């Protein structure tokens, strides 16, 4: 049973426009959410995160929105650039003790292609 | 070297071989992780180490044997693997209690 779902395996967006990547989750205990970006032949790199006490977090061209009631989060990239072409993974954790590791549960990823 | 490094980057092995994957982190972290990524599946957590102690074994078959001699190094020893074990194996590190994990480039493993 997949607790983190990215239902769009791929997305194509024109350069300069907004890219919106979506993620849904089923575990109501998740309280911290992350987006990772992965280029071919490289490991995932951390992009942006959001705690469940917030509904929005912005970092430059990247903004993550969290809708707890809908158990949905989205990543907005604006304006989209060719270098943004990559696979984007959504991940979630249950938080908990400050002494334990935060186990991350990942989605299957969305391949974003920016068209010049 | 910076970040998280993994060697080898590619490995082809037979089912009767014994091989090891190596991971090293240069970030001063104290937690390390092994993940498996198979085609069309999400990353699956395999093992977690905090301060060199294993704190998580996510029902991984015993043909995978991790070793963490210190907070900077992590190994995955492989023995009598099956073709379905072919996947990308990713190592990551973080601070204990930290949400943000930093990944290495992965080892692409093919079992013949």
Residues of A with CB under 8 A from a CB of B: 2, 4, 32, 34, 36, 41-46, 49, 89, 93, 95, 97-109
- CB distance A106–B105 less than 8 Å? no
pLDDT of residue B16: 86
Residue B104 pLDDT more than 80?
yes
Burial class (CB in 10 A: 0-12, 13-18, 19+), A59: exposed
- Tell me how far the alpha carbon of residue B51 is from its chain's centroid: 16
Closest Cα in chain A, distance from residue B54 (Å): 11
* Residue of A49, A100, A106 with shortest CB distance to B43: A106
**Cis peptide preceding A79, ω within 30 of 0:** yes
- Which DSSP symbol is given to B28? -
Cis-peptide, bond into residue B8, ω within 30° of zero = yes
The answer to whether A109 and A11 are in contact (CB under 8 A) is: no
pLDDT digits (tens, 9 = 90+) for A5-40: 999 999 999 999 999 999 999 999 998 999 999 998
In order, the DSSP letters of A19-76 are EEEEEEE--TT--EEEEEEE-TTS--EEEEEEETT-SEEEETTEEEEEETTTTEEEEE
Residues β-bridged to residue A92: A33, A105
pLDDT digits (tens, 9 = 90+) for B60-101: 999 999 999 998 999 999 999 999 999 999 999 998 777 789
């Amino acid at each position: 049973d997949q607790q983190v779902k990215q239902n769009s395996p791929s997305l194509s967006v024109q350069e300069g426009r907004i890219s919106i990547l979506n993620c849904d989750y089923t575990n109501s205990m998740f309280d911290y959410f992350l987006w990772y970006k992965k280029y071919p032949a490289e490991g995932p790199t951390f992009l942006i995160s959001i705690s469940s006490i917030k509904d929005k977090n912005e970092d430059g061209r990247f903004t993550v929105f969290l809708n707890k009631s809908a158990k949905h989060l989205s990543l907005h990239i604006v304006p989209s650039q060719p270098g943004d072409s990559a696979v984007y993974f959504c991940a979630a954790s249950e938080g908990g003790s400050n002494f334990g590791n935060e186990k991350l549960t990942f989605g299957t990823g969305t391949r974003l292609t920016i068209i010049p | 070297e910076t970040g998280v490094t993994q060697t080898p980057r590619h490995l082809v092995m037979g089912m009767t071989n014994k091989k090891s994957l190596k991971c090293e982190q240069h970030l001063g972290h104290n937690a390390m992780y092994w993940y498996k990524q198979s085609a069309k599946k999400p990353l699956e957590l395999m093992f977690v180490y905090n301060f060199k102690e294993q704190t998580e074994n996510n029902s991984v078959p015993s043909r995978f044997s991790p070793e963490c001699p210190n907070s900077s190094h992590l190994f995955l020893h492989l023995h009598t693997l099956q073709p379905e074990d072919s996947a990308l194996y990713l190592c990551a590190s973080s601070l204990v209690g930290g949400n943000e994990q930093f990944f290495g480039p992965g080892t692409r493993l093919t079992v013949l």
